[in-house]
């Protein structure tokens, strides 16, 4: 079977129509992982026993003549910041190197209830802190399109697994662009839902007011199918929204003619690579040819987004990561003589350099005498950024931007310059700060055959329009059969 062509529908139909068993399909993906992943490093942990058990259940349904659930037999990868019952969850960190959770993340349990086959845990930047997947405590991930380059981060393992045909779909998390940026770099689709649309229960927290869970897929339709499965209220997460979940797949076929698409001048200015600009402008013209009306808008507080994000996110990280102290679970330093020494050595030995940097930045921003000057001011600017989007969405139905200012950069290229690394998220952090949904879809490639991503942003809880615009563009540029 050609794994490259497998979408959710194709995989499910192959199992339902008895062209292949779910067990055989899972085995084929494990063969692909064994062959290619030593070169790429997308997976940290494989869960073959659990996968084959679930695949066997799907095969039994087929043998009884029953209809498979929506993701019946579909092989998936799960980012290693999402807890999985009985399967090690490290968040890419040594401090959780031997942690085995007692329960599944809500998003994972909903996918399994829909028949998905869970192949394993995908690599990520430690505690989802990074834009290159070089910050994993275990090993970096390489971009399947060019192994000398990064796959993006922090969900680089999930994006690489999908791009390299080592999963049909994968779950990622997005705090400042960590689904959309690796999707852009690897040439796949990455969807970040509205904050509150998908339960965060079971997500190892980075910054609780910014964290989202969402899918990385090969097609927009697959993203719609996964979102329809994992979205919805969860009593285990007080921030999950108690709102109806639309049929995102049915919404895809609605026409886009007449939709107003905003183009913000702030996203097409200094620092944008020429080839990325050309591809994004061509995509905007394609949307116009489909009947969309292009409207120039302004998001004036965009220039403050990176400093705002790196104050809010690091402050919340400082608070969230205080729980990793060696007392209750996770790594504990040996032979410490006092409790204070045990805390200090545990965190020093367990956390990597980038995590330590962000904890120190966040602790400083929250400290007495600096709280008002930094954290409180950042929250006020965050409100201004959100208001920019509210004003824009009073005039347009969606906003189109580049996903990233450049295509994938070389491994190690930005490792010694944290600011340059942080600026890779300049077009994605605004949506996290505002809590709105966004998607990255492929819109071309550079002369070096590196993928370029187009970002589409929408109103709160209007993923349906975001997906509809993305699907219309995807179908318009798809090669004819």
CATH number at residue 208: 3.90.1300.10
Cα separation, 71 vs 228, in Å, equals: 11
Over residues 28-42, the mean pLDDT reads 98
Q: Is residue 81 a part of any domain in this protein?
A: yes
Q: Is residue 296 a part of any domain in this protein?
A: no
Mean per-residue pLDDT over the chain, rounded: 97
Angle formed by the axes of helices 463-477 and 220-230, nearest 10°: 160
pLDDT band per the 50, 70, 90 thresholds, residue 481: very low
For residue 154, indicate whether it is catalytic.
yes
On the question of pLDDT at 256 being above 80, the answer is yes
Tell me the two tokens of residue 42.
């997308």
Q: Is residue 149 a part of any domain in this protein?
A: yes
Q: Is residue 295 a part of any domain in this protein?
A: no
Q: Is residue 358 a part of any domain in this protein?
A: no
For residue 218, indicate whether it is catalytic.
no
Q: Is residue 370 a part of any domain in this protein?
A: no
Q: Is residue 204 a part of any domain in this protein?
A: yes
pTM beyond 0.85: the answer is: yes
Structural domain harbouring 173? 3-251
- Radius of gyration over every alpha carbon of the chain, rounded to an integer in angstroms: 21
On the question of pLDDT at 463 being above 50, the answer is yes
Q: Active-site residue among 178, 184, 318, 440?
A: 178
CA distances from 249 to 220, 222, 293 (A): 9, 9, 24
Q: Could you read off the pLDDT of 104-147 as tens digits, one per residue? A: 999 999 999 999 999 999 999 999 999 999 999 999 999 999 99
Residue-level pLDDT at 419? 84
Percent of the chain with pLDDT over 90: 95
Q: Which residues pair with 231 in a beta bridge?
A: 198
pLDDT band per the 50, 70, 90 thresholds, residue 479: confident
Name the residue with higher pLDDT: 245 or 5: 245
On the question of pLDDT at 329 being above 60, the answer is yes
Over residues 207-215, the mean pLDDT reads 98
Q: Is residue 177 within 8 Å of residue 429, measured between CB atoms?
A: yes
On the question of pLDDT at 432 being above 70, the answer is yes
Residue-level pLDDT at 2? 86
Q: Which residues pair with 77 in a beta bridge?
A: 120, 170
Residue-level pLDDT at 417? 87
Q: Active-site residue among 47, 79, 121, 199?
A: 79
pLDDT band per the 50, 70, 90 thresholds, residue 480: low
Q: Active-site residue among 154, 199, 318, 440?
A: 154
Q: Could you read off the pLDDT of 71-104 as tens digits, one per residue? A: 999 999 999 999 999 999 999 999 999 999 999 9
Q: Which residues pair with 398 in a beta bridge?
A: 261
Q: Is residue 337 a part of any domain in this protein?
A: no
Report the domain count for the chain: 1
Q: Would you give the end-to-end CA distance of the chain in angstroms? A: 19
Q: Could you read off the pLDDT of 365-384 as tens digits, one per residue? A: 999 889 999 999 999 999 99
For residue 286, indicate whether it is catalytic.
no
Residue-level pLDDT at 420? 86
């Amino acid at each position: 079977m050609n794994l490259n062509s497998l979408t959710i529908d194709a995989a499910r139909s192959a199992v339902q129509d008895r062209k292949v068993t779910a067990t055989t399909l899972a085995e084929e993906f494990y063969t692909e992982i064994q062959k290619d992943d030593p070169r790429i490093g997308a997976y940290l942990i494989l869960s073959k026993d659990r996968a084959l058990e679930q695949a066997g259940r799907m095969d039994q349904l087929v043998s009884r003549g029953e209809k498979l659930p929506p993701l019946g037999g579909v092989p998936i990868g799960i980012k290693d910041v999402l807890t999985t019952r009985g399967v090690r969850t490290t968040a890419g960190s040594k401090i959780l190197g031997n942690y085995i959770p007692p329960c599944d993340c809500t998003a994972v349990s909903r996918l399994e209830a829909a028949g998905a086959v869970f192949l394993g845990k995908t690599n990520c930047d430690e505690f989802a802190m990074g834009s290159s997947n070089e910050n994993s405590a275990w090993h970096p991930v390489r971009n399947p399109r060019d192994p000398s380059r990064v796959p993006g981060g922090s969900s680089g393992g999930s994006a690489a697994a999908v791009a390299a045909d080592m999963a049909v779909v994968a779950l990622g998390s997005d705090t400042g662009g960590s689904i959309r940026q690796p999707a852009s770099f690897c040439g796949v689709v990455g969807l970040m839902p509205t904050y509150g649309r998908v339960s965060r229960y079971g997500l190892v927290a980075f910054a609780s007011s910014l964290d989202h869970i969402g899918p990385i897929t090969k097609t927009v339709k697959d993203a719609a199918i996964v979102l329809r499965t994992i979205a919805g209220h969860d009593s285990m997460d007080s921030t999950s929204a108690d709102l109806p979940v639309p049929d995102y797949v049915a919404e895809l076929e609605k026409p886009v003619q007449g939709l107003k698409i905003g183009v913000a001048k702030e996203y097409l200015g200094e620092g944008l690579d020429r080839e990325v600009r050309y591809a994004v402008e061509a995509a905007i013209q394609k949307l116009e040819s489909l009947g969309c009306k292009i409207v120039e808008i302004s998001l004036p507080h965009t220039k403050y987004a990176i400093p705002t994000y790196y104050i809010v996110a690091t402050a919340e990280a400082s608070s969230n990561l205080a729980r990793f102290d060696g007392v209750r679970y996770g790594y504990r330093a040996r032979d410490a003589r006092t409790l204070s020494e045990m805390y200090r050595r545990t965190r020093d030995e367990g956390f990597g350099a980038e995590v330590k940097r962000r904890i120190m930045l966040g602790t400083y921003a929250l400290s007495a005498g600096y709280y008002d000057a930094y954290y409180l001011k950042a929250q006020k600017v965050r409100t201004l950024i959100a208001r920019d989007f509210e004003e824009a969405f009073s005039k347009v139905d969606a906003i189109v931007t580049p996903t990233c200012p450049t295509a994938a950069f070389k491994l190690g290229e930005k490792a010694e310059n944290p600011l340059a690394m942080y600026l890779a998220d300049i077009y994605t952090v605004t949506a996290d700060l505002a809590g709105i949904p966004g998607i990255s879809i492929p819109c071309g490639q550079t002369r070096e055959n590196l993928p370029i991503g187009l970002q589409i942003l929408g109103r709160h809880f209007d993923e349906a329009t975001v997906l509809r615009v993305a699907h219309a563009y995807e179908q318009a540029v798809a090669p004819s059969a």
